[in-house]
Structure 1
Amino acid sequence: MDKQLSPVSPILLVDDEEAWLHSFSLTLRSVGLSNIRCCADSRKVMEILASEEVGVIVLDLTMPHLSGETLLPEIVREHPQIPVIIITGLDLVDTAVQCMKLGAFDYYTKVSEETRLIAGVQRAVDLSRLRQENDLLKEHFLKDKLDHPEAFSRIATHNKGMRSIFQYMESIANTSEPVLISGETGVGKELIAQALHALSKRKGEFVPLNAAGLDDTMFADTLFGHKKGAFTGADQTRRGLIEQATGGTLFLDEIGDLSLLSQTKLLRLLQEREYLPLGSDLPKRTDCRMIFATHQNLQEMQTEGTFRKDLYYRLHAHRIHIPPLRERLDDLPLLVDLFFEEGAARLNKKKPAFPKELISLLGTYDFPGNIRELQNMIFDAVSTHKNRTLSMDSFKDYLRLRRPHLDGEVKKVPQTQTPFSDLPQLPSIKEASYLLVLEALNRANGNQTIAAEMLGITRQALNWRLKQADREI
């Protein structure tokens, strides 16, 4: 079938003259428009449109049972996205004008030049394809709703970037091609994989495997299984995880840690959909959907030769990149509240209230451990708190340990990496100090206590610097 047409969007030819249907079908096929559906009984047209996706309709005006003039307004009303070309044996201007008013895309007589008629069909095909592409864009990326929000119930977010990712996930839910999920440690890659599994509605299990720390033999044994007697200690046959994932989803995390030999085995699995259990000469086939994840930069690894180039490109059928928490700080209030509730429930405590300044304080931290780090930080605070309102001291202590400059330590930075490297003229010490205070206040949403913590000074010292600057201004 020609690439210009989608196989699910044929050209529907409607005419009671079967000889013309056959002749015009051959004409269209000769120019590469081969996805054609013919209908000689006009009474079946609406039934066809209700059950099949049609791209373009070529409709004869004069037919027994239901004329084209009767069908046209009904088609336009029920299926306005389908271009309709009217053809007739009579060259009547008034009829042509009336058809165009009723919504016809174009009008031709059967005695028209064949090239004109073909050109008209091709224009209608192009219009139909553009409309379909536009609908897909709206459906997957532009609409502000999800078709299956329940699949994402375990992922707490109202971030627009994450919402776009969810919409993309819905669009690829039923594909059998591999999916690669990338993102820093702790962003929730396994939750994304589980959501994809839920969206696919596969009846089999979701089977996870973390490849970190697995050598070649352990990787093959865990993934593919082994036969009895395959090696010393193999006293019985063992099913691998890939077999357990039959009809479901296999999630392989940290694939960047795989050795080149293990990568070769994985590539064969992806290409052939076959694998060999250890000790077996008979390959087994798999129908599971495979999802992979990594926190490493696979592009850099394949450039360096530590990750197979062919596997790298094979994994890129569908790619999902999860942004780090520092790029979705608008989710902080939602996540903090959720983790306080979860932490209190696990520790059998009442959920504590927390000061509003906590969100501003946490917003000044870059969270290298992402959501997992935030969760652990809050669970630790909940486990030690005793008062009605949670103290921020444990959070301040945590951040102070990870920002040594707050205790007076100055980190030496190479000159080429300083914030002033690109400035044609350096600010004075007073100017630089004032600008640094302003930036800290901006990041702390105006909270002087948090801004002072960031700068490693007391609130009184920060306030004094602001007053000094006001006097000088």
Structure 2
Amino acid sequence: MNPLQTQTAQPPLVLFVDDEADELLATRYLLEAHGIAPVATLEDPREALTFVAATPPAMIIIDLIMPHLPGQQLLTRLVREHPSVPVVVMTASQDVETAIACMKEGAFDYLIKPVEESRLVSSVRHALEVCALRRHIGVLRHTLLNQKLKHPEAFAGILTRHGKMISVFQYIEAIAESPEPALITGETGVGKEMIAEAIHRLSRRAGRLVTVNVAGLDDTLFSDTLFGHMKGAFSGAEKDREGLITQSSEGTLFLDEIGDLTPASQVKLLRLLQDGTYYPLGSDIPKLSRARIVAATNRNLQQLMTKGSFRQDLFFRLSSHPLEIPPLRKRADDLPLLIDFFLQEASAAMDKPGLRVPEELYTLLSVYHFPGNVRELRALIFNAVAKHRFGAILSMESFKEVILATQRTPRENLDEGDGEGGSCLEIPGRFPTLKDAEDFLIQEAMRRGGNNQGIAATLLGISRQTLNYRLSTRRRES
């Protein structure tokens, strides 16, 4: 094997084949300086096919004018035997017909020496992105067709049997090893940090997961927290300080509440995502980041972009792999699983073994909108267990109190709607009388409560006795 061959424990990201040793060395250092590594190099083109068959790279750069095996012949064989690996031709030949012939043979790009640094790096990055996209499509196709998780243990901490959540897990398995950013969206309390942990766990990255909540950080604090500072950068900076970017090197940096990032900090994050570089405070020498970025927010970034408070280019950079986590109110089939788990957890923590939930509780909570999602459900269960005094059946009173306190008025519903098609009070045709409206509300509450009068009364905000009286009156009148 050629002595210039890069020795690495992992498959090379780039293979460069050229008979000029100086060209190989200079190009390898250039790519590695831009964070593109590892790079393998070969002087003898006859070794290329054997090397690629044994250790497939993400992309290949070849020269055209080489002894023993001309570049065009090598290109033809590489494209035929490894069609998913992009091949970039880099040569001193300026012959237009040769360039056209190479592109027809399947070359990904054609670069003429001497190649500008930015042009070479851009071409290589583009080829790597295409290769990653092809690989992810293949993994997704395989995963979605099989309908099974390859690594269910990675999601053991997320209790669910809901179909959409399983689909999210399958997508995570497909994109976990990608170096591209991932954007997790969802309401407060749905478990976005646990999703980030699963992504990191499956990524097989050597570094660790580092988490930072960027909400409330001004531009200076954001820069210092992420990028660090040099000694003397500001008053009190008595020594160099590493930022979280360095601490998460070769690992994952999780940026929570990304929707609250200030405009100035958005620009710095965009630069980091675009070219992988950043500047510690007080330094004019850029540093390279090898951390994979995962971001999360509970805010509507589309609305923020419309208002001009969130950059569109940053959004598109962050959302290479978008994941939307459904709220708990849309995962009613997860409620029994979560309720039972949190009850066992709370009972053990408070030394109240043997507690059971009444069957009515599942129905009652299935009609609650859970603004705090899974986190709120856990708090409700712990609160109920803490208040429990007698018997083996958990009281429903604390749950009813919360639901009654959060009942929204008709005016609020008219103003806000339900988020899925407008107001919950739509009155087509003849305007109803008060009796019509009362009859409808009672029927709807009974339907949602599974014909349980206690649950229906809670939804209506009245006592069970009052509901029973009105039901009896309706029966007599009919």
Q: TM-score, normalised by structure 1?
A: 0.69
Tell me the equivalent position of 1:362: 365
1:344 counterpart (331, 336, 347): 347
2:404 counterpart (400, 405, 413): 400
Distance 1:427 1:144 in 2: 49
Give the aligned residue type for 1:249: T
* Cα contact 2:159–2:338 (8 A) shared by 1: yes
* Cα contact 1:344–1:382 (8 A) shared by 2: yes
Distance 2:325 2:212 in 1: 19
How big is the shift at 1:435?
2.2
Tell me the equivalent position of 2:11: none
How big is the shift at 1:416?
11
How big is the shift at 1:470?
4.1
Give the aligned residue type for 1:266: L
Distance 1:217 1:133 in 2: 37
How big is the shift at 1:436?
1.6
Tell me the equivalent position of 2:222: 219
* Cα contact 1:340–1:379 (8 A) shared by 2: yes
Report whether the alignment pairs 1:147 with 2:191.
no
Give the aligned residue type for 1:200: S
Tell me the equivalent position of 2:376: 373
Report whether the alignment pairs 1:251 with 2:259.
no
1:38-437 alignment runs, 5 A limit: 139-350=142-353, 352-387=355-390, 388-403=392-407, 419=424, 421-437=426-442
Distance 1:339 1:307 in 2: 37
Q: 1:414 to 1:173 in 2, by over 3 A?
A: closer
1:461 counterpart (460, 463, 466): 466
Q: Deviations over 1:104-129 (max 9, x none)?
A: xxxxxxxxxxxxxxxxxxxxxxxxxx
Q: 1:165 to 1:412 in 2, by over 3 A?
A: closer
Give the aligned residue type for 1:242: I
Larger radius of gyration: 1
Distance 1:345 1:274 in 2: 48
Distance 1:375 1:450 in 2: 20
How big is the shift at 1:466?
3.4
* Cα contact 2:185–2:298 (8 A) shared by 1: yes
Q: 1:139 to 1:468 in 2, by over 3 A?
A: farther
Tell me the equivalent position of 1:451: 456
Distance 1:173 1:166 in 2: 10
* Cα contact 2:414–2:425 (8 A) shared by 1: no
Q: Deviations over 1:408-443 (max 9, x none)?
A: xx7576599765545112344433322221211221
Distance 2:415 2:324 in 1: 33
* Cα contact 1:434–1:466 (8 A) shared by 2: no
Give the aligned residue type for 2:387: T
Q: 1:224 to 1:303 in 2, by over 3 A?
A: same
Distance 1:402 1:416 in 2: 15
* Cα contact 2:249–2:289 (8 A) shared by 1: yes
SS in 2 for 1:354: coil
Distance 1:280 1:177 in 2: 27
Q: TM-score, normalised by structure 2?
A: 0.68
Which deviates more from structure 2 when the two are superposed, residues 151-160 or residues 352-361?
352-361
Q: Deviations over 1:221-260 (max 9, x none)?
A: 1111111221111112211111110111000001111111
How big is the shift at 1:309?
1.5
Identity across the alignment (%): 49
SS in 2 for 1:209: strand
Q: Which runs of 5+ in 2 are unaligned?
A: 1-51, 57-68, 86-134, 418-422
Give the aligned residue type for 1:211: V
Q: 1:413 to 1:461 in 2, by over 3 A?
A: same
Report whether the alignment pairs 1:441 with 2:440.
no
Aligned pairs, number: 356
SS in 1 for 2:295: strand
Distance 2:321 2:241 in 1: 32
Report whether the alignment pairs 1:36 with 2:77.
no
Distance 2:431 2:313 in 1: 50
How big is the shift at 1:347?
3.0
Distance 2:353 2:239 in 1: 50
SS in 1 for 2:358: coil
SS in 1 for 2:212: strand
How big is the shift at 1:199?
0.9
> CA RMSD for the aligned pairs?
3.1
How big is the shift at 1:293?
0.4
Which deviates more from structure 2 when the two are superposed, residues 197-206 or residues 375-384?
375-384
Distance 1:171 1:181 in 2: 15
* Cα contact 2:136–2:175 (8 A) shared by 1: no
Which deviates more from structure 2 when the two are superposed, residues 301-310 or residues 137-146?
137-146
SS in 2 for 1:35: helix
Distance 1:454 1:429 in 2: 18
* Cα contact 1:177–1:317 (8 A) shared by 2: yes
SS in 1 for 2:337: helix
How big is the shift at 1:377?
1.3
Give the aligned residue type for 1:296: R
